[in-house]
């Protein structure tokens, strides 16, 4: 072998930004107009098959509507499968006795449970959260959607929309067979990043409004951890002592995870976190993936130095880096921090939750949780913890008795469009409130509500004219325990 064609040991060099493709200055080319085949004409078209999109499609399908669900990957589940996020939070209120979430979110958990693929974190009952098997979730969600009469289009990207005033006239998708159009009475955006709504040219809110987004994490699974090994808290404490050092400067170390459902020697680890990226930007998304895989190697190397983890090995890396936040719609009602923490009830409530506001610092280490009971706690970059009260009460004051918060139907309705609903992570909430409603059991409820509303929107009508009371009736019939103020 000559020196010329000898393989080199190439290394990733940081910072990465200069190595990535990026838009070429102000250059553009005209795209010629063309006729594209209509792939489907339906009542409801849902884009994105994550927790929200799956439930929107299933709810509309069960209401007897013609539904098409478009997903860019070869499987459903969004972050629960593609990003390996394997925890579904509690269905119960803060009292741990009152069931506040049911419907399709609960049905998905039961279907996973029947396959042994969901384990409650509370051994004494089922008021805790659920650790699930992300792989089993893929076929549980196939069954749910197909069994609800939904037409599924996998490996298909939403590429663009054709707009007619305040309505979307067609959605253009791109797949292995090329480009095609989908025509629907109502379009549901379940893409997590508001792709559908942004393609319609409508303004959205990115992150905290200044463009700072909660950082994404790439999750991975590690096997071969021995019985008696240092637990994850110990691993965290050890890792947090050393900032990552690959970026020409100290970079905050991050690790969160839990044991897998089938084998306690296997763990899902969210051991990476990339700052300063917007996952709805192709260049940032690319940088985040490569940089997170580098962080993963850094973590794995140190993990092997810990007692009981010496023989650990990488089982797999999630198909994509997990996104916590990017674009959200500007809705008829933008849910606020005060409404979430105060447990505000709404006359048009369509979902309920108890998960706290959980904000990963967009610019550095640390996570801030604000709980419904009046307390906050901050986890520092070194693993340290601080507590306090956000309600101005002294430290020892009794906890607030807020059972849950609600999300109104108006938070699913984009201000500038008439035949579109947004469900899940991209629903209308400000940065803080989104930090609470973004979790999957909440997104599933928002999806179910969007599907139920889309199903009763008369042809050509606005989703704004839908009677929220009728949506609530449908949800209650479908075992959603909405607490109505009337
Ligand atoms: C590291 C991490 C840890 C988390 N921990 C938890 C946790 O413990 N518990 C919890 O409940 N939540 C957790 N979350 C949050 C939660 O996973 C997400 O907020 C939730 O999955 C959002 O659901 P969604 O349906 O709105 O969007 P997503 O889950 O993002 O689903 C969007 C779907 O749309 C598809 N899509 C996107 N764009 C297009 C397009 N243009 N065309 C076609 N398809 C498209 C995607 O492939 C995906 O399937 C975590 C998130 C991260 C990143």
129: tokens are: 């959260």
- Percent pLDDT > 90 in the chain is 86
How far is Cα 381 from Cα 274, in angstroms, rounded to an integer? 14
Rounded to 10 deg, the angle between the 103-114 and 440-455 helix axes is 120
132: tokens are: 């699930």
Q: Is 254 in the pocket of ligand 1 (CB under 6 A)?
A: no
Q: What is the pLDDT of residues 454-485, one digit of tens each?
A: 999 999 999 999 999 999 999 999 999 999 97
| The ligand 1 atom nearest the CA atom of 196 | 41
Q: Is the pLDDT of residue 247 over 60?
A: yes
At 11, is the pLDDT very low, low, confident or very high (cuts 50, 70, 90)?
low
Q: Is 216 in the pocket of ligand 1 (CB under 6 A)?
A: yes
Give residue limits of the domains in the chain: 38-211+404-477, 220-317
Ligand 1 atom 30: the closest Cα is on which residue?
192
CATH number of 38-211+404-477: 3.50.50.60
Residue with tokens 């179910």: 448
Q: Is the pLDDT of residue 4 over 80?
A: no
| The ligand 1 atom nearest the CA atom of 324 | 53
pTM of the model: 0.96
CA of residue 422 to ligand 1 center, whole Å: 14
Question: What confidence score (pLDDT) does residue 2 get?
Answer: 53
Q: Is the pLDDT of residue 249 over 90?
A: no
Q: Is 48 in the pocket of ligand 1 (CB under 6 A)?
A: yes
Q: What is the pLDDT of residues 148-169, one digit of tens each?
A: 999 999 999 999 999 999 999 9
| The ligand 1 atom nearest the CA atom of 438 | 19
Q: Is 87 in the pocket of ligand 1 (CB under 6 A)?
A: yes
Q: What is the pLDDT of residues 383-425, one digit of tens each?
A: 889 999 999 999 999 999 999 999 999 999 999 999 999 999 9
Ligand 1 atom 35: the closest Cα is on which residue?
48
Average pLDDT of the chain? 94
| Measured CA distances, 334 to 91, 110, 310, 328, 469 (Å) | 24, 32, 49, 10, 20
Question: What confidence score (pLDDT) does residue 26 get?
Answer: 76
In a mutational test of the pocket of ligand 1, which residue from 45, 47, 48 has the highest number of ligand atoms less than 8 Å from its CB? 48
Strand partners, 159: none
Q: Is the peptide bond before 15 cis (omega within 30 degrees of 0)?
A: yes
Largest CA distance in the chain: 82
At 252, is the pLDDT very low, low, confident or very high (cuts 50, 70, 90)?
confident
CA of residue 156 to ligand 1 center, whole Å: 17
CA of residue 78 to ligand 1 center, whole Å: 5
Q: Which of 191-205, 252-266, 325-339, 395-409 has the lowest mean pLDDT?
A: 252-266
- Percent pLDDT > 70 in the chain is 95
Rounded to 10 deg, the angle between the 282-303 and 232-240 helix axes is 110
Question: What confidence score (pLDDT) does residue 1 get?
Answer: 47
Q: What is the pLDDT of residues 266-306, one digit of tens each?
A: 999 999 999 999 999 998 999 999 999 989 999 999 999 99
CA of residue 181 to ligand 1 center, whole Å: 25
Q: What is the pLDDT of residues 81-115, one digit of tens each?
A: 999 999 999 999 999 999 999 999 999 999 999 99
The contacts of residue 133 (CB under 8 Å, 6+ apart) are 86, 112, 115, 117, 118, 260, 261, 262
Question: What confidence score (pLDDT) does residue 8 get?
Answer: 52
Rounded to 10 deg, the angle between the 134-147 and 103-114 helix axes is 120
At 5, is the pLDDT very low, low, confident or very high (cuts 50, 70, 90)?
low
Sign of the CA dihedral with 209 first, then 52, 358, and 401 last: positive
CA of residue 230 to ligand 1 center, whole Å: 30
CA of residue 82 to ligand 1 center, whole Å: 8
């Amino acid at each position: 072998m000559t020196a010329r064609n000898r393989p080199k040991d190439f290394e990733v060099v940081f910072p990465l930004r200069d190595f990535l493709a990026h838009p070429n200055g102000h250059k553009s080319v005209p795209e010629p107009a063309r006729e594209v085949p209509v792939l489907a004409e339906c009542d409801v078209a849902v884009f994105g098959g994550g927790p929200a999109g799956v439930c929107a499609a299933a709810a509309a399908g069960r209401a007897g509507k013609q539904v098409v669900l478009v997903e860019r990957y070869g499987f459903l589940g969004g972050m629960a499968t593609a990003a390996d996020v394997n925890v579904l939070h509690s269905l119960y209120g803060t009292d741990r006795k009152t069931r506040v979430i049911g419907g399709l979110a609960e049905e998905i958990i039961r279907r996973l449970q029947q396959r042994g693929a969901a384990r409650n974190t509370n051994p004494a009952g089922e008021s805790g959260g659920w650790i699930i098997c992300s792989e089993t979730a893929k076929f549980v969600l196939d069954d749910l959607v197909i069994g609800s009469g939904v037409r599924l289009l996998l490996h298909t990207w939403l590429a663009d929309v054709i707009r007619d005033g305040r309505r979307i006239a067609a959605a253009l998708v791109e797949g292995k067979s090329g480009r095609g159009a989908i025509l629907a009475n109502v379009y549901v955006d379940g893409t997590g990043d508001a792709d559908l709504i942004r393609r319609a040219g409508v303004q959205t809110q990115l992150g905290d409004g200044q463009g700072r987004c909660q950082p994404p994490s790439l999750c991975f699974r590690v096997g071969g951890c021995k019985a008696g090994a240092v637990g994850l808290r110990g691993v965290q404490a050890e890792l947090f002592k050393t900032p990552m050092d690959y970026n020409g400067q100290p970079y905050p170390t991050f690790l969160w995870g839990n044991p897998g459902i089938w084998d306690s020697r296997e763990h899902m680890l969210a051991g990476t976190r990339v700052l300063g990226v917007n996952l709805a930007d192709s260049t940032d998304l690319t940088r985040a993936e490569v940089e997170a895989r580098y962080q993963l190697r850094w973590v794995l190397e140190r993990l092997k130095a810990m007692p009981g983890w010496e023989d650990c090995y990488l089982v797999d890396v999630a198909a994509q880096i997990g996104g916590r936040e990017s674009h959200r719609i500007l809705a008829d009602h933008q849910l606020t921090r005060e409404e979430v923490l105060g447990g505000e009830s709404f006359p048009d409530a369509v979902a309920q939750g108890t998960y706290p506001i959980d904000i990963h610092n967009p610019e550095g280490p640390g996570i801030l949780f604000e709980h419904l009971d009046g307390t906050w706690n901050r986890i520092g970059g070194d693993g340290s913890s601080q507590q306090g009260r956000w309600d101005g009460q002294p430290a020892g004051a009794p906890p607030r008795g807020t059972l849950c918060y609600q999300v109104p139907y108006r938070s699913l309705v984009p201000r500038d469009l008439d035949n579109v609903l947004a469900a899940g992570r991209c629903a209308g909430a400000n940065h803080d409130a989104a930090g609470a409603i973004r979790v999957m059991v909440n997104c599933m409820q928002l999806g179910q509500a969007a599907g139920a509303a889309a199903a009763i929107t008369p042809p050509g009508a606005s989703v704004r004219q839908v009677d929220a009371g009728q949506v609530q009736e449908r949800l209650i019939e479908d075992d959603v325990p909405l607490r109505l103020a009337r």
